[in-house]
A and B are shown apart, each in its own frame.
Chain A
Amino acid sequence: MRYPETASQTGGPYVHIGLAPQQAGFDIFKNNFGANLCAPATLGERIAIEGQVIDGSGAVLRDVLLEIWQANAAGKYAHPGDLQAKPLDDAFRGWGRGGADFDTGLYRFDTIKPGPVVGRKGQMQAPHINVWVVARGINMGLNTRLYFSDEVAANAADPVLNSIEWVQRRATLIAQRGERDGLAVYRFDIRLQGEGETVFFDI
């Protein structure tokens, strides 16, 4: 017996009500899920990730919502399916969500730089963060990956990046490292359509 997967539908323009109610404009839950993945005890290099999501006309989406899922600083996911012999970090779940700013369209996550995770057949993957994008006009959440501009050698050997046949498209997944007030800030813009279109994955 096989049941068909429930059909996806757009998150719509008011996705924040359910997933980020404070941004929608009201306070309802005692404990809110947000875009800061770090507690004081979290291990690893603090980084920020910032960017905008851009449509096919070059306009910035101001109603988009993103989620990220990543390994800890040692390169281990907080999930029983990860059998790598690496330490868990009790102060790091590895997941966060955040809406773009309604005025500027800028999104931001405060997190740590993940360690490398093993891939298939023992090949190492470059450090990366899994990104999921939902919004009005997007019928099914878009999956992509964020890699880091200062991991040149690891990126060159990454099996997923290397599985992208169009070499020039791989660059759309590399976040550019900058610095602000002593904090590493990676810029990761996502282009939904047209020139420089970001690579999206069917995972």
Chain B
Amino acid sequence: MGPLPRPTDEFIQRDTGLHAPALTPDYKTSVLRSPRLALISIEQTLSEITAPAFQPEELGPLDHDLILNFAKDGLPIGERIIVHGIVRDELGRPVPNALVEIWQANAGGRYRHRNDKYLAPIDPNFGGCGRLLTDANGYYVFRTIKPGPYPWRNRINDWRPSHIHFSLMGDGWAQRLITQMYFEGDPLIADCPIVRTIPSEEQVRGLIAVQDRAAFVPLDSRAYRFDITLRGRRATLFENHVQGATA
């Protein structure tokens, strides 16, 4: 894995070829919301290699348990699942104390959001958001109800595969990432214009959680494994350190 990263190291250049371009016309909303001019690449400074830190006491004890964190007069309806994995960097090193935030629809594909008018009902015992900090090994785990697919106005008969949105705040602003996790075996994945913004099959596979039978809880919950990779800090081998006034 090489030398351990230092908080003063800069991040390896982002491989933009691993990501969707901004303009992906089959995902129609991107057409008017994508810059037409090229991004301007800059050399990193303290602004890009630093990021906010979060403390465990800022989060509540049920923040990572979506089955219970909005339960009012009973349990939410749907498939009980555990989602777990590690957050690592490009060089395989764990990312500890990363803020992981998740949000999703309920079992019927309905979001608890004032702008969602889909006719599938709200579940009174399901909120649909959670958050946690990764441990010293970069490990995270949360519990939830498997979200249902839902229709959206792109082409008139487009349906999103079941998915959970993930937001990640690592140790540097340059690592900030939002993505979506899908479920192994879902036939809607192959048809989805949002999935298909991603340029390679391999990168799409990286967003598909694998059923993890070894982590099932008998007579209670199934489990999915989903590992996440963030950008890594590169070792400073020969050059003078570039950050701060010490250069």
Contacts and interface: CB of A to CB of B under 8 A. Distances in A.
Contacts of A7: 18-20, 179, 198, 203-204, 206-207
Given A118-B244, A194-B36, A201 B42 contact: yes
B45 A120 contact: yes
Contact of B44 (A28, A117, A137, A203): A203
Given A7-B203, A28-B70, A139 B52 contact: no
B45 A117 contact: yes
B77 interface: no
B243 A120 contact: yes
Interface string B210-245: 000000000000000000111100000000001111
B111 to A, nearest CB: 5
B15 A26 contact: no
A86 to B, nearest CB: 10
Contacts of A29: 59-60, 63, 131
Given A7-B207, A18-B167, A139-B21, A118 B173 contact: no
A203 B174 CA distance: 6
B interface majority secondary structure:
loop
B85 to A, nearest CB: 11
A189 interface: no
Contact of B34 (A8, A84, A118, A137): A137
A53 to B, nearest CB: 9
Interface of A is mostly: loop
A163 B39 CA distance: 13
Interface stretch (B112-120, B133-141, B183-191): B112-120
B11 to A, nearest CB: 8
B38 to A, nearest CB: 9
Interface residues of A, number: 81
Contacts of B176: 67, 132, 141
A102 B114 contact: yes
B8 A83 contact: yes
Contacts of B203: 4, 7
Interface in B65-113: 69-70, 88-92, 101-104, 111-113
Nearest to B60: A30
Nearest to B92: A1
Contacts of A122: 244-245, 247
Contacts of B58: 31
A181 to B, nearest CB: 29
A84 B244 contact: yes
Contacts of A141: 176-178
Given A1-B91, A200-B40, A16 B113 contact: yes
B42 A84 contact: no
A69 B247 CA distance: 24
A37 to B, nearest CB: 10
Shortest beta-carbon contacts, A-B, top 5 = A18-B103, A137-B29, A79-B50, A137-B33, A95-B52
6 contacts: A12-B165, A21-B127, A69-B51, A79-B51, A80-B7, A200-B35
Interface of B: 1, 6-9, 14-16, 18-22, 24, 27, 29-37, 39-53, 58-60, 63, 69-70, 88-92, 101-104, 111-116, 127-129, 131, 165, 167, 171-174, 176-180, 194, 197-198, 202-204, 206-207, 228-231, 242-247
